[in-house]
A and B are shown apart, each in its own frame.
Chain A
């Protein structure tokens, strides 16, 4: 029992991170119908920027450092998200069906190796900054730990999700986004700047991925340039599982993937946990391509 609770706590933490990344996938897919394959690399870049920023701020008080790093990283990745859309995706609107995906794969390879080139191929270790936590349960020999960091990650995610949902539902930019999602031509006719809205979608997705990147840097304490590929795939799985295009779905999918992965690693074997995640992706796409909370897509001629 205690072991199960511990794994669930770990799973929820991991799931929050996946959920944050998954929102970027789901929003971009919702608005321009493409899989932004490079989104995982944005998360990786965020982790690297976080390492650099934490090193630069190593003398600042912890809370200030974390807040500053979060803001700075969000700013930087937002610029990356904006530039990627501008350079690699916007010229391809109206090109053939698979062009954006191929371009995104190219972008992903480019970013991965660019970071390797400018930052070196070695892993970057970060000293643990947020330590300590509560002991929830002591079940004879096995203690359930809930670290401050885990609380911070989950709370940050929940707060961000609430703010973000409010943002999409109430602000004019959020309305424009939903309008573009429904019908881009009509939205443009009604005076919505579609280009700008799409750009902002990338910016927001990248900023959320930045939060995930900072959190993961603190959580695991080590960053490498290959980090984005797997996390990106799993977050995409989460977005598909929750129903692509649906924001609550992305969060739900993220949490589920995190839980499944943690439980799988805890009860079966940690080597095969990636297979579990990929198998879910395959199974969901085959049996329920609209996901848990998504609407089924109608094939149009």
Chain B
């Protein structure tokens, strides 16, 4: 992946052939059993169905792609790689949309070159990536800039983007506030928006522990579950309203976080991650098996909706002695009122998290978190009590998770342990990681992409998690700091200028992170 290989000597034909053969062998081993043969339930046991066409195609494409990468190692052959990659991308694109295009042109659809739509997509993407790499390599070689210059320029662009981000954030807030009244908005749009904002809030909550304190929490969903179940149970058994239960849900989740956090915080990075994962699973198993309280895998249904701040009920005919919302305000009845109300509720809750985060980043504890993230040994040497600040991060993060959980319960009206699996934790973590740990705007954009896109492409639902896993790996390889990385300290000493574009070496940590690109 590094440009250092460019200077390598021209590889001999023999070694190229060896490498290609190795690629082909690996490709065959990866695909032959799992892709080629599918087991199918049939009368009298499993039967095998074979798909050799796909296998051969995949292996050929892998070898061609590998050949392209080998060609890129010697300068001067980029044109061929660009053309090859471009052709592959074009074939993939044409095959992917052949029905639509044939329909548009009024001709009969042509036979596809790629065996399946998945493979057309992969061919297209793979070809495009190869072509882009070739072009980037040429432009880097032709420009007279050194690597330091390029880094400085990237840094300057990043600075510009960061300035734009503020404008963008303001626009996004305005958009979020006016969304229900925009012309294209309907029930579905608001529902999806509510879902996205819920994840934005969860991402911001997790961001405190992952982004600021630098601890990888893989069991965040446990706090989400605690919040959801505490509201559901309080409403069901004690008849407590949403507004009363909300702070309790947060507090309960926070104390839960503190109890769990206390023993594990002494652990190092990856052990910490695995233990939190273990805790998340324990909570889920308890929810499934503690039948008397949680109703087990059947979950809790009929969770009441929140009322309008104790003034009006969000139902058609009113309940609990409260008048219905539309009568209270003298409006025409619309079932959308409740959805819009829930939407604004989560927007306000998310905004609270954002305000809180922005403020706390500048407080001593926020600075201590950043110090901890960058170097925990140095942090301890400076007299910061690591346990206390880690615990604070854990508790605060958990509290936000609990609030979001209570909202989730009241919005869905039904919760079950199914909603609180490890995958949920992984999705929230991916949002934080992809957004660039620590960047609020980045996390919001990531939530929009990771939650919004699958909603738009519902037909491709089965590919969602595959793309998701691959995406996590690719982000770690290409942009380990996330889409919008932000690693500068929030607070600097008064008369020391922030390390700017001219001094890229002043940020060794970020430089190390980018060196992997």
Q: Which residues of A contact B (CB under 8 A)?
A: 34-35, 45, 48-49, 51-53, 55-56, 58, 72, 75-76, 78-80, 82-83, 87-88, 91-92, 94-103, 105-120, 122, 124-127, 229, 233, 236-237, 240, 269, 271-272, 274-275, 278-279, 281-282, 285-286, 289, 299, 301
Q: Please, what's the 1-or-0 string for B505-517, where 1 marks a CB less than 8 Å from any CB in chain A? A: 0000100110110
Q: Residue B423 at the A interface, CB < 8 A?
A: yes
Cβ of B5 to closest chain A Cβ, rounded Å: 13
Instruction: Give the Cβ gap from B468 to chain A, nearest Cβ, in Å.
Output: 6
Determine which of B264, B273, B512 lies in contact with A282 in the assembled complex, contact meaning CB atoms within 8 Å. Answer: B264
Q: A153 to B214: give the CA distance in the assembly, Å.
A: 42
Assess whether A34 is in contact with B472, with CB atoms less than 8 Å apart.
Answer: no
Give the residue of B1, B29, B426, B433 whose beta carbon is less than 8 angstroms from that of A91.
B1
Give CA–CA (A58, B270) in the complex, Å. 43
Query: Known contacts A94-B515, A271-B289; is A113 also within 8 Å of B466 by CB?
Result: yes
Chain B min CB distance to A272 (Å):
6
Q: Which secondary structure dominates where chain A touches chain B?
A: helix
Residues on A with beta carbons closer than 8 Å to the beta carbon of B481: 96
| B contact residues around A282 at 8 Å (CB) | 263-264, 275, 278-279
Is B269 on the interface with A (CB-CB < 8 A)?
yes
CB distance from B63 to the nearest CB of A (A): 14
| Interface residue count on the B side (C-beta < 8 Å) | 67
> Which of B37-45, B79-87, B163-171, B342-350 lies on the face that meets chain A?
B37-45
Q: Are A106 and B471 in contact (CB under 8 A)?
A: yes
Q: Which of B385-414 contact A (CB under 8 A)?
A: none
Determine whether the beta carbon of A119 is less than 8 Å from that of B476: no
CB <8 Å contact, A108 and B39: no
Contacts of B282 in A (CB 8 A): 275, 278-279
Minimum CB distance partner of A274 in chain B: B285
Instruction: Tell which of B37, B273, B278, B288 touches A98, judged by Cβ atoms closer than 8 Å.
Output: B273
Contact B469 A110 (CB under 8 A): yes
- Asked if A106 and B472 sit within 8 Å, CB to CB, the answer is yes
Task: Return chain A residues, CB-CB under 8 Å to B278.
Answer: 233, 237, 278, 281-282
- Which residue of chain B is the closest to A73 with respect to CB atoms? B33
Task: Assess the A103–B473 pair: CB atoms within 8 A.
Answer: yes
B513 contacts which chain A residues (CB < 8 A)? 95-96
Q: List 8 A-B contacts (CB under 8 A).
A: A51-B39, A95-B476, A96-B512, A109-B423, A109-B469, A233-B274, A233-B278, A289-B267
The distance in angstroms between the C-alpha atoms of A281 and B468, with both chains bound, is 28
Q: Point out the residues of chain B lying under 8 angstroms from A58, CB to CB.
A: 45
A102 adjacent to B33 (CB under 8 Å): no
Task: Point out residues on B near A: beta carbons under 8 Å.
Answer: 1, 25-26, 29-30, 32-35, 37-41, 45-48, 214, 216, 218, 263-264, 266-271, 273-275, 277-279, 281-282, 285-286, 288-289, 377, 422-423, 426, 429-430, 433, 462-463, 465-466, 468-473, 476-477, 480-481, 509, 512-513, 515-516
A residues in contact with B34, CB < 8 Å: 45, 48-49, 52, 114-115, 118-119
Determine if A286 and B263 form an interchain contact, defined as CB atoms under 8 angstroms apart. yes
With contacts A95-B513, A118-B34, A282-B263 known, is A106 near B216, CB below 8 A?
Answer: no
Interchain CB contact under 8 A, A102 and B216: yes
**Known A109-B423, A233-B277; contact A96-B480, beta-carbon cutoff 8 A:** yes
The complex places the Cα of A94 from the Cα of B508 at a distance, in Å, of: 13
Instruction: Write out the residue numbers on chain B whose beta carbons fall within 8 Å of the beta carbon of A109.
Output: 423, 426, 465, 468-469, 472
Closest to B464 in A: A113
**Number of A-B pairs whose CB atoms are under 8 Å?**
197
Contact A76 to B429, CB < 8 A, known contacts A55-B39, A92-B516: no
Interchain CA distance A115-B31 in the complex, whole Å:
11
Distance of A83 Cα from B26 Cα, bound (Å): 8
CB < 8 Å neighbour of B271 from A126, A269, A289: A289
User: Are A233 and B281 neighbours in the complex by a CB distance under 8 Å?
Assistant: yes
What is the distance, in angstroms, from A21's C-beta to the closest C-beta of chain B? 15
Return chain B residues, CB-CB under 8 Å to A76.
29-30, 32-33
Are A106 and B473 within 8 A (Cβ)? Answer: yes
B476–A102 CB distance below 8 A: yes
Looking across the interface, which residue of chain B has its beta carbon closest to that of A236? B274
User: A94-B516, A100-B476, A111-B469 are known contacts; what are 7 more A-B pairs with Cβ within 8 Å?
Assistant: A56-B37, A80-B29, A96-B509, A102-B433, A120-B38, A278-B279, A278-B281
Residue in A closest to B472 when the chains form the complex, CB atoms: A106
Given A98-B216, A102-B476, A278-B282, the answer on whether A110 and B466 have CB atoms closer than 8 Å is yes
Q: Which residues of A contact B470 (CB under 8 A)?
A: 106, 110
Chain A residue numbers with a CB within 8 Å of B269 are: 97-98, 101
B473 near A87 with CB under 8 A, answer yes
| B275→A285 contact, CB < 8 A | yes
Distance of A106 Cα from B469 Cα, bound (Å): 4
B481 to chain A, nearest CB (A): 8
Complex interface: chain B residues within 8 A of A279 (CB): 282
Contact B472 A91 (CB under 8 A): no
**Cβ of B516 and Cβ of A91 under 8 Å apart?**
yes
A92-B46 in contact (CB<8A): no
Which of the residues A83, A100, A115, A281 comes within 8 Å of B274, measured between beta carbons? Answer: A281
A52 engages B270 (CB within 8 Å): no
Kindly state the separation between the CA atoms of A78 and B429 in the bound complex, as whole angstroms: 29
Residues of B with C-beta under 8 A to A124:
39, 46
Q: How far is the CA of A53 from the CA of B32 in the complex (A)?
A: 11
CB closest residue in chain B, given A82: B26
Q: How distant is A39 from chain B, measured CB to nearest CB, in Å?
A: 12
Shortest Cβ gap from B61 to chain A (Å): 15
Q: Which residues of B contact A53 (CB under 8 A)?
A: 33
- Report which residue of B278, B422, B513 has the largest number of chain A beta carbons within 10 angstroms of its beta carbon: B278
A101 vs B277: C-alpha distance in the bound complex, in angstroms? 13
Across-interface contacts of A115 in B (CB, < 8 A): 34
A286 close to B480 (CB less than 8 A):
no
B476 x A106 contact (CB < 8 A): yes
**Pairwise interchain contact A275-B275, C-beta atoms closer than 8 A:** no
B264 touches A286 (CB 8 A): yes
Task: Assess whether B516 is in contact with A101, with CB atoms less than 8 Å apart.
Answer: no
Q: A98-B270, A101-B216, A301-B377 are in contact. Are A52 and B516 (CB under 8 A)?
A: no
Which residue of chain A has the shortest Cβ distance to B278 in the bound complex? A278
Contacts of A99 in B (CB 8 A): 476, 480, 516
A88 to B34, CA, bound (A): 20
A-B pairs, 9 with minimum CB distance: A106-B472, A110-B469, A79-B29, A109-B469, A113-B465, A103-B476, A278-B278, A106-B473, A95-B516
Report the minimal beta-carbon distance from B405 to chain A, rounded to whole angstroms. 21
- Contact at B466–A114, with CB atoms within 8 Å? yes
- Residues of chain A lying within 8 A (CB to CB) of residue B40: 120
